[in-house]
Amino acid sequence: MFQGSTPLDHLPNGFCSVYDQKMDTLVIGVDSSTQSTKAAVVAAATGRILAVGRAPHTVTGADGARESDPERWWAALGEAVAAGLARAGADPRAVAGVAVAGQQHGLVVLDRSGRPLRPALLWNDTRSAPQAAALTARLGARSWLDRTGSVPVASMTAAKWRWLRENEPRTADAAAAVRLPHDFLTERLTGTAVTDPGDASGTCWYSTATGAYDPGLLDLLELDAALLPKAAPSGGALAGGLTARAASALGLPAGIPVAAGTGDNMAAAVGLGLGAAGLLDHPAVSLGTSGTVFAATRERPANPALAGFAAADGHGTYLPLGCTLNCTLAVDRVAALLGLDREDAAPGGEAVVLPYLDGERTPDLPGASGLMTGLRHTTTPRQLLGAAYEGAVFALLRALGELPGAASDAPLRLVGGGARGRAWVETVRRLSGRAVVLPRTTELVAVGAAALAAGAAGGGDPVAVAAGWRTGEGETLPPVPPDRATLDRISAVLDRATALLTTQGHR
């Protein structure tokens, strides 16, 4: 592995000389997502984003496969940090800390030199659906919920590891390290193999009941615990100092603090200040390539309809989350097929579109494909596009109804790329009947990572830091009466079509 590791309980050399520069102290929060890396250069005192640098990723695969080369993530991180600093006109010597939030669940297997043995299996790779079903059957859903808070589905890393063991046993046997995407990048930055409770809780081999890897589950999965990173107490814990090699690649000072980091959903929750006073059990809806609903709660979740994640704060907070695979990317594809702009949508009328273009996770239909029904001679292309929005939002609202403790009258905080689109916002309002908050800060995953960086650099609890930055505040749109007719129509179609969707598109 890369050298230059720093113990979790020691500050790196040079920490005081950098962080003691009170004027214009900066932190960098990295959002390494499915499609791209974004690096936000943030003023540590106020949370103001000075600039965001971006660099693309490449996703390959067909027939359920979704893979990326982790080396591209590393290159994109350097490109995004350089672009962010250049756009901000910032002196790299003012940067006091870095943290990475990454796409969840991806399986990265490394050789002894820290190089990937194969492309990473991404969260939306559905080839591991049979392995997920077999794992669930082996122990029973209740046992998995009691131990990990989640039931294995194709997205979970445990199912992907079993797929690798069964389909590429030589690669699995050659693995010297097993990492999540954000773990891989943090290790490249620090030389330290470390993860956090939030992202680790999405593997299905980490127990949210004990706060540690589950030896029995590792035995079941045929996964050696020695291949896994150490679990830090929180995403804001100090993973180590930036190594000279990484500092040269990023154009930053060597030795500055690097936080353990976390998964993208956990970072978004930090960026919103969820879990801080007054924001416990307040739900958020993230509209991105995938769609998610989540809330920070003290109640440990154990619901098969949800992923029972831990939060990144390390204070015994949980982040129950419902996830759909098909959100903005699927609706944009429908718009392209219809030759429409994504905003050129109208309410669907009698039409119902279930946009399960990549299979689906909620409901758990990994082999499903898209379904369109209810067309009439009078149905317009704009209505079909609107029906795709409705189908995607319906799935998210159904998951929202399962969140434990989520306040039923609390406004929904909309985040992600879709939250900047009129059609998405208005569809959520119309179907939910709730008030909607549009946070002023749009890059909440990167901002949440920046708060973790501030925590590692001595700035206190990351959630409190973000709450003080007020990055989760913004315009509040009042509620409108819920469109019960549309909700009932989609529900009826889904209930009737489940058997078809279960077998349709089986690979």
In the 8-state DSSP scheme, what is residue 458? Answer: I
Cα 24 to Cα 98, 110, 340, 450, distances in angstroms: 15, 38, 45, 15
Could you tell me where the DSSP H helices lie in 168-275? 169-174, 181-190, 197-200, 215-221, 244-250, 264-272
Residue 40 three-state SS = strand
User: Among residues 293, 359, 300, which one has the least CA distance to residue 326?
Assistant: 359
Interatomic CA distance for residues 106 and 341, integer angstroms: 32
Strand partners, 287: 291
Q: Which residues contact 305 (CB under 8 A, 6 or more apart)?
A: 322, 362, 399, 402
Strand partners, 322: 293
Residue 463 three-state SS = helix
In the set 125, 183, 199, 264, the catalytic residue is 264
Residue 120 three-state SS = strand
Cα 269 to Cα 101, 266, 464, distances in angstroms: 11, 5, 12
Cα 109 to Cα 160, 269, 444, distances in angstroms: 11, 28, 28
User: Among residues 340, 327, 336, 325, which one has the least CA distance to residue 417?
Assistant: 327
Residue 105 is labelled as binding a ligand:
yes
Inter-residue contact 368 to 395 (CB < 8 Å): no
Cα 428 to Cα 336, 389, 390, 462, 473, distances in angstroms: 21, 9, 8, 29, 18
Inter-residue contact 455 to 236 (CB < 8 Å): yes
Cα 62 to Cα 59, 131, 278, distances in angstroms: 10, 19, 45
Question: How far does Cα 502 stand from its chain's mean position?
Answer: 26
Inter-residue contact 284 to 418 (CB < 8 Å): no
User: Among residues 421, 419, 411, 408, which one has the least CA distance to residue 445?
Assistant: 419
Inter-residue contact 109 to 270 (CB < 8 Å): no
**Annotation says 264 is catalytic:** yes
Interatomic CA distance for residues 286 and 416, integer angstroms: 5
Binding-site residues? 104-105
Binding-site residues for substrate? 104-105
- The residues that are catalytic are 264
